[in-house]
Structure 1
């Protein structure tokens, strides 16, 4: 069989860096970032420190850049599938070194990934629990071979989530779940621990980093904050350089303080939906679900209740602008009326469904005469979403459907959505390498009870097979056809009502440091809390 090959030039991954850094690059400087936690301790185990160290102390193998649609190769320089998609060969860069100067080889990769089989909590993407991975072997110093039981062109997507660790150190620890890695050796841009204080930690450059003249910066300082309310004034005062949290009225509270240097960029992130439990009245009737979608003025909701920061989502196929290159325009052309604000049509559909006012109180009732009083679940304290739900309830009232906010604690919300113990709830959708993973989260029967997004009740064996078929091919055209069919299925069934694409919260200062991604240089989604994306940003940042 013809081999399906996915190989990229190392240099190509950094063309954007050179383009974005047309000016002379200055070496040195320190980046200061906020971390919401209760303080720092001497623990450099990347699996037990909530992603503090991925992309900083430990370099990923590769990063699937969902903003550019390309693969950013890091420790790895290429990968290749066999024709039957059951063998994956990963090739590392030559002459890689750990920060202590010792060689970083395929043996380290095999050890790091095999180790997670003995420590299931470290098996972050279930490469072992999924039972498809049969073996990982080192063919030579730079070649790692993965043998799969069944064809799966998506298996490689898992690898960016695992930490590659030095075997010569970690293999000597007795219990890795308790190992704090007190004298860390890493492969990322910042591996030298300058100090760890309860409220601050400083990590500085790796003397053996594999990218020449990188990082441009000397150090990264983490500062501990309890919550967003502490981060906002720190950002405004210039105490931190990079913010990744919600700031109310960011233009006046942050940008206006220093228009030359204070900036924000909020590109689309996860799609936010109103999930409906189709096992419960009145959502067991498709016409009701469609009507309530058409009852909403999404642009007004975004502008008034969400401060104008999100992007209204008129895509009826289940995904938002984060995945715009995968959105099937034909699906939107055929079903786009379902996300257009149309009160007259919404009322007509409700009448057609037999959802009418039977007792004269001004609100519609179920066909059996029972009153409708939708309680839309949202987490207590999520003020922006509470405002959204309040406004949604007002739009529902305009078409005669009574609704209101049901504020619950996170633990209740988490359990209710996973157990399908809700009528309607506002929630996000999965952000992943490819939207097929979002559809898997929505519709795979295996996900029921394990995710917040599969409790709506719309599942079929045919959809399971369609989702599973995606990994059986590496043909991009065939994969897009599968995605298009899933978009059409979502539009036809409407298990959730699309509202908007949440913004990627990103504020930054150019007073000292430049090279940030922005609307003119969208080289990566600007997410701090994801190691693969922040290491790409660190490649670009340098002194002004």
Structure 2
């Protein structure tokens, strides 16, 4: 895995406003003139995304490109720089001596974007009726599982501002899981109770992308204003958002956020250089060029240090089936579920060349799925196993696991099946496409054929 440094490039004309925002905004953006509004003079920032939104329903979302970072909050949040847990909808929490209960106290006077009160009834509804409800197919349920037993927590209301979470065993990471967005009971509760003709909750069809944005009730800093497929997403400031500065001024200071939907990171880059973007996440391939144009172009590049994310390969280890058919080809499934196979792939990828050639040195190898800011991160210096580039060691691991090579140097499994699989990423992300091309080349050196296929996400 690799971890990039955070590069944010801003126009001077919006720099003061942008830096005043106290929450993370998904980068980048596109042409202001394309969005006509009667309130054209409001403070706004225009960025870009690479794909369409696929749902306005958080519980059903499976896409990294989504509206929820701007529109919803949970009980707690994570500081974007330090990784520390910070208050969000909950102003405080108390953990019991036996580490089995957490009592959260909500902020006073919380409201939804339609002005309705936000209380612990919404918290209990969100967890008990949605996230913990087996009739709702949501990935959030797995996030809430506790320890080796994978048991689920229980949630109960104490009063209008206090709610209690109970876990079956002490589990330190659980507190971070309570950052899941809180959803509005007064809007969604009936849809959880009501069944369609097939016996499924009508909640499963709620808040699709064809929903009127005015009907999407939120608790975050922004509310959805407009969504046009393959064109743009527009957000307006939520007038009932809880956060204010020390002088009592409503936050966020920026009243409107616009995401233009573009086809590639190259398009974003060109839009920025032509003056159509207010902010851009700077990929390493453009850093040197933009750095030279910094003064002339009237913008500033800020290097924010390591991001909370990383680039990684994930093998499909699902051994389940549907309608009597395996979800993953059983032959490939045997490879993927073999530890030595995955370790060999890790040793075969030349991370340092990737950092030098693709990231231009603006990154660092990462051997953990946890960011370095996490209190649970274990560094290599303190014992974390690392997988430095070593193709010969990769080959030995494969031979040990029962694989073998033919006369052409192609890797075969114990049943003489050619080892070949498909690697996918999102089309339009030029950095990831370049990484995929290098991974394909690196794995070919240990006899594995990779069919690299960038696809349109969503």
**Normalising to structure 1: TM-score of the pair?**
0.53
Query: Secondary structure in 2 aligned to 1:120?
Result: coil
Greater helix percent: which structure?
1
Where structure 2 has 5 or more consecutive residues not aligned to the other structure, the ranges are 1-15, 21-40, 195-201, 318-331
The residue number in structure 1 matching 2:287 is 251
Aligned residues: 369
Shift in alpha-carbon separation, 1:402–1:348, aligned structure 2, 3 A? closer
**Normalising to structure 2: TM-score of the pair?**
0.62
Q: What are the residue-to-residue correspondences of 1:465-480 with 2, within 5 Å?
A: none
**Equivalent residues of 1:113, 1:164 under 8 A apart:** no
Measured after TM superposition, the shift of residue 374 of structure 1 is: 6.1
Measured after TM superposition, the shift of residue 30 of structure 1 is: 0.2
1:261 to 284, 299, 305: 299
Query: Secondary structure in 2 aligned to 1:222?
Result: strand
1:220-242 residue CA offsets vs partner (Å, 9 max, x unmatched): 12323344443332233232333
Is residue 171 of structure 1 aligned with residue 207 of structure 2?
no
Is residue 125 of structure 1 aligned with residue 161 of structure 2?
no
Measured after TM superposition, the shift of residue 142 of structure 1 is: 0.9
**Equivalent residues of 1:89, 1:146 under 8 A apart:** yes
Measured after TM superposition, the shift of residue 34 of structure 1 is: 1.8
Shift in alpha-carbon separation, 1:249–1:108, aligned structure 2, 3 A? same
**Equivalent residues of 1:271, 1:320 under 8 A apart:** no
1:468-502 residue CA offsets vs partner (Å, 9 max, x unmatched): xxxxxxxxxxxxxxxxxxxxxxxxxxxxxxxxxxx
Measured after TM superposition, the shift of residue 33 of structure 1 is: 2.2
**Equivalent residues of 2:108, 2:161 under 8 A apart:** yes
Is residue 101 of structure 1 aligned with residue 115 of structure 2?
yes
**Equivalent residues of 2:93, 2:105 under 8 A apart:** yes
The residue number in structure 2 matching 1:386 is 436
Q: What are the residue-to-residue correspondences of 1:430-469 with 2, within 5 Å?
A: none
Measured after TM superposition, the shift of residue 68 of structure 1 is: 1.0
Measured after TM superposition, the shift of residue 72 of structure 1 is: 1.9
Q: What are the residue-to-residue correspondences of 1:407-426 with 2, within 5 Å?
A: 407=452
* Matches of 1:39 and 1:280, distance apart in 2: 34
The residue number in structure 2 matching 1:6 is none
Shift in alpha-carbon separation, 1:37–1:124, aligned structure 2, 3 A? same
* Matches of 2:339 and 2:59, distance apart in 1: 43
Shift in alpha-carbon separation, 1:204–1:129, aligned structure 2, 3 A? same
The residue number in structure 2 matching 1:484 is none
The residue number in structure 1 matching 2:125 is 111
Shift in alpha-carbon separation, 1:139–1:225, aligned structure 2, 3 A? same
* Matches of 2:278 and 2:310, distance apart in 1: 24
Measured after TM superposition, the shift of residue 91 of structure 1 is: 1.1
The residue number in structure 2 matching 1:311 is 364
Shift in alpha-carbon separation, 1:152–1:206, aligned structure 2, 3 A? same
* Matches of 1:108 and 1:284, distance apart in 2: 43
The residue number in structure 2 matching 1:24 is none
The residue number in structure 1 matching 2:159 is 140
Shift in alpha-carbon separation, 1:372–1:318, aligned structure 2, 3 A? farther
Is residue 406 of structure 1 aligned with residue 445 of structure 2?
no
**Equivalent residues of 1:364, 1:371 under 8 A apart:** no
Measured after TM superposition, the shift of residue 218 of structure 1 is: 1.3
The residue number in structure 2 matching 1:220 is 257
**Equivalent residues of 1:125, 1:161 under 8 A apart:** no
Measured after TM superposition, the shift of residue 243 of structure 1 is: 3.8
Where structure 1 has 5 or more consecutive residues not aligned to the other structure, the ranges are 1-16, 22-26, 412-544
Query: Secondary structure in 1 aligned to 2:310?
Result: strand
Shift in alpha-carbon separation, 1:87–1:29, aligned structure 2, 3 A? same
